[in-house]
């Protein structure tokens, strides 16, 4: 139970950290609208508010799907919904999402734990692109399971050092920092699905894949 509580605390810290920026920008925009009568400044503030609200909502929806209970303990998650949530999360950034239609209409679909694993792989892949780039997602049936793959390509593509630590199957939770908590979660989700999260990087490309058997 202690490990579960510690992981929940790390994920909560990560969530709060990632919401500080857009929520702070919303506060700044509101202050401008309250204190400045210049129409041009108010228009800029309204634009800032719209962008920041969209960013905050995108992050909340993504983290809810990647970390949380989503629609309930027994409910499934549509890959079509997952793709839209991932698009909204990355919208406005320097990472372009390539998630083709044939990877949202997988025969039989995949269950919530596998979708949660996939979303955390998307998160890790996006963080492997510090200068932006392309993020390709593939979901395909593989016997009685599915193959999940995320490929990040771009200038300087690499896995952060904290993520590499969290990818080790023998790492202790005490070695994990909030930034890498989603990676630790992804490794445990993969294990619960009877597989492992594999990662490779070379030549401006980072490849992540897993083949869950229980989907």
Q: What is the mean pLDDT of the chain?
A: 89
pLDDT at 158: 96
Q: Is the pLDDT of residue 1 over 60?
A: no
Q: Is residue 215 part of a domain?
A: no
Q: Is the pLDDT of residue 38 over 70?
A: yes
Rounded average pLDDT over 149-178: 95
Q: What is the CATH number of the domain that holds 158?
A: 3.30.565.10
Radius of gyration of the chain (CA): 18
Q: Is the pLDDT of residue 148 over 60?
A: yes
Q: Is residue 77 part of a domain?
A: yes
Q: Is residue 86 part of a domain?
A: yes
Which residue would you say has higher pLDDT here, 113 or 32?
A: 113
| Rounded Cα gap, residues 20 and 26, in angstroms | 10
Tell me the C-alpha to C-alpha distance, in Å, between residue 46 and each of 26, 40, 61, 104: 9, 10, 22, 35
pLDDT (tens digit per residue) in 56-93: 999 999 999 999 875 444 556 889 999 999 999 999 89
Q: Is the pLDDT of residue 47 over 90?
A: no
Q: Is residue 150 part of a domain?
A: yes
Confidence of residue 179 (pLDDT cuts 50, 70, 90): very high
For residue 141, the SS3 value is: strand
- 166 close to 176: Cβ distance less than 8 angstroms: yes
pTM of the model: 0.90
State how many domains the chain has.
1
Q: Is residue 80 part of a domain?
A: yes
Domain membership of residue 79 as a residue range: 2-210
Q: Is residue 116 part of a domain?
A: yes
Tell me the C-alpha to C-alpha distance, in Å, between residue 145 and each of 114, 121, 208: 10, 17, 17
Q: Is residue 142 part of a domain?
A: yes
Q: Is residue 64 part of a domain?
A: yes
């Amino acid at each position: 139970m202690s490990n579960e509580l510690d992981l929940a605390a790390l994920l909560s810290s990560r969530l709060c950290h990632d919401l500080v920026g857009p929520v702070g920008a919303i506060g700044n925009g509101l202050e401008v609208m309250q204190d400045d009568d210049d129409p041009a400044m108010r228009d800029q503030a309204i634009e800032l508010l719209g962008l920041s609200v969209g960013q905050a909502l995108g992050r909340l929806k993504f983290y809810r799907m990647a970390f949380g209970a989503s629609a309930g303990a027994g409910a499934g998650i549509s890959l079509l919904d997952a793709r839209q949530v991932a698009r909204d999360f990355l919208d406005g950034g320097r990472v372009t999402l390539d998630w083709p239609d044939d990877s949202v209409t997988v025969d039989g679909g995949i269950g919530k734990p596998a979708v949660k694993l996939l979303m955390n792989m998307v998160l890790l892949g996006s963080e492997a692109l510090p200068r932006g780039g392309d993020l390709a997602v593939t979901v395909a049936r593989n016997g009685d399971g599915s193959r999940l793959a995320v490929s990040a390509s771009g200038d300087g593509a690499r896995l952060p050092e904290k993520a590499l630590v969290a990818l080790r199957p023998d790492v202790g939770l005490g070695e994990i920092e909030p930034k890498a908590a989603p990676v630790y979660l992804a490794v445990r989700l993969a294990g619960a699905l009877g597989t492992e999260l594999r990662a490779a990087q070379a030549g401006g490309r980072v490849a992540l894949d897993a083949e869950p058997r229980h989907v």
